[in-house]
Amino acid sequence: MINRRLLRHGGRAAAALLGAGACFLGGCATTAVNAEWTDPQFAGRSLRGERVLVVCDANDTAVRRICRDQLAAQVAAAGATPVSGPETADLTAGRPPANDKTLAAARRAGAKAILAATVAPDATVVSGGSGISFGVGGFGGSGGGVSGGGVGVGIPIGGGQVETAYGANIGLTDVATVRLMWTSKVTAPPSRNINGQLGEIAKVGIGAARSAGFF
């Protein structure tokens, strides 16, 4: 009886994952804010006209730099002045509050806040052949950020196309108090165009921060 229940539960879980994969493949998913939190003490605080240190943390150097450039462009469009630390500093997002190295760079640059993002693959979809296969992964960072495992469902593919969905944990830290003011998780639908995904993540993420009153 127990085994049958487990099998039924496993079947429902697999069906749910397959449904999610089909949604990705069908294009019904869009870049979106999946979770968001604001410290009430900083609600409505505007950073327009202020200097903001932009930091991206990712395992891949190209992803890290693309993320930083895209976020900096969105910060500038929102009315603040994006700044970055020296290339040799290798600043990381770390865990809130900001780590000492990043905080020191922000103070040297005269930044009022740190905009830090940890970027990583959030899901992988393989399409084509006789079926689909996909997995949901956790976040990881080069600076000791959040990390985790994942779950997945596999079906014989026979030569499929792999697409990865990226996600980002984005946060704003107040430099003066070293307190996390706002944070969100943003994910994009699977695509082979990583530049495009990171651009959408930056746009949606800063849009959410603007809606929260920070820009």
Q: What CATH number did the domain enclosing 45 receive?
A: 3.40.50.10610
Contacts for 161 with CB less than 8 Å, ≥ 6 apart: 126, 127, 128, 192
Query: What's the CA gap between 169 and 145, in Å, rounded?
Result: 10
Does a structural domain hold residue 3?
Answer: no
Does a structural domain hold residue 13?
Answer: no
**91 or 188, higher pLDDT:** 188
Looking at every residue in the chain, the average pLDDT score rounds to 79
Lowest mean pLDDT among 1-5, 66-70, 103-107: 1-5
pTM: 0.75
The SS3 call for residue 139 is: coil
Nearest to 165 by CA among 122, 196, 133, 198: 122
Lowest mean pLDDT among 5-19, 23-37, 152-166: 5-19
Q: Which two tokens stand for residue 133?
A: 């296969």
- Contact, 141 vs 93, CB < 8 A? yes
pLDDT grade, residue 163 (50/70/90)?
confident
- pLDDT of 126 > 70? The answer is yes
Domain extent for 120: 30-211
C-alpha dist (Å) from residue 102 to 39, 83, 89, 99: 21, 12, 9, 6
Nearest to 114 by CA among 145, 71, 73, 146: 71
- Contact, 22 vs 165, CB < 8 A? no
Percent of the chain with pLDDT over 90: 57
- Looking only at the bridges linking them, the beta strands covering 81-83 and 51-57 are parallel
Q: Which pLDDT value is given to residue 88?
A: 65
39-48, 133-142, 148-157: which has the highest mean pLDDT? 39-48
Q: Which two tokens stand for residue 103?
A: 């905080």
Does a structural domain hold residue 91?
Answer: yes
Q: Which pLDDT value is given to residue 27?
A: 46
**107 or 138, higher pLDDT:** 107
Query: What's the CA gap between 17 and 15, in Å, rounded?
Result: 5
The SS3 call for residue 124 is: strand
pLDDT (mean) for 117-132: 74
Nearest to 101 by CA among 34, 139, 55: 55
Q: How many CB atoms lie within 10 A of CB 8?
A: 10
Nearest to 109 by CA among 75, 76, 73, 84: 84
Query: What's the CA gap between 191 and 25, in Å, rounded?
Result: 10
Does a structural domain hold residue 22?
Answer: no
Does a structural domain hold residue 185?
Answer: yes
- pLDDT of 25 > 60? The answer is no
Number of domains in the chain: 1
